[in-house]
Amino acid sequence: MTTIKIRAYRDADRSAVRDICYRTGYMGDPISSQWADQPSFANLFTGYYTDDEPESALVAERDDVVIGYLLGCRDTAQSTSATRLFFDQLATRCIAFRPGTARFVRRALADSVTDLFHRVAPPDRLIDPRWPAHLHIDLLPEARGQGVGRNLVQQWLQRLEVDGIAGCHLETLAENNGAISFFRSCGFEYFGPAKLAPALRAPDGTRHHIQVMVRSLEPDPRPGTRT
């Protein structure tokens, strides 16, 4: 079997990253049953990283084909918020009226109103100097179970340590047991309770929850700079 290698993201990888994002958008499976518009979904979940902070991205490649990625952000406070990205897609992709996304948008609005009525706090991005960085990772099925995800996370965390960044966080679905187990094995811990995710549903119609996980880092004492 050809070796899978990890390398820095290149501009030419953008299309592959966007495709993988859509094909793995629901707990590693395609998101098409809930969000049938690949461009807007990829804009939401990869656009900032590939277009505004590409230097923090890594990809996994086999035979010159990208089969996974880790998209990183060194300072979450400086990144574009999910709310802003969502409203951008409302304006540019008309997702409130597009057949493949309109139902999701209506459900998101209904869930948000219901949660507000019941005084349930909505999920919000974590802005905390203890864990300023964050990551987003996805792998195609053929890249899983081979240590690729762990390698991507380790390389990203090593970069942060070299740069003296205090810690990293991430968001995942609380119901995604495989992802939770993986991130815990990489040293991440739960941060706060899981919060209801607007609009997103399991196949049986039940709502999902977003879980934040964090990992503190020690600055790399070795001299030199990251390449």
Domain ranges, ordered by start, for the chain = 5-216
Among 178, 176, 173, smallest CA distance to 197 is for 173
Query: Which pLDDT belongs to residue 227?
Result: 36
Distance CA 109, CA 115 (A): 10
Distance CA 128, CA 124 (A): 12
Distance CA 140, CA 66 (A): 9
**pTM of the complete model:** 0.93
Query: Which pLDDT belongs to residue 111?
Result: 96
Which segments of the chain have a pLDDT < 70?
A: 1, 220-227
Distance CA 81, CA 44 (A): 10
Query: Which pLDDT belongs to residue 224?
Result: 46
We find that the CATH architecture of domain 5-216 is: 3-Layer(aba) Sandwich (3.40)
Query: Which pLDDT belongs to residue 74?
Result: 98
Sheet holding 65-73, edge to edge: 5-8, 57-62, 65-73, 133-139, 167-173, 207-216, 189-201
Paired tokens of 118: 């019941």
- Alpha helix (H) ranges present in 95-169? 102-117, 148-162
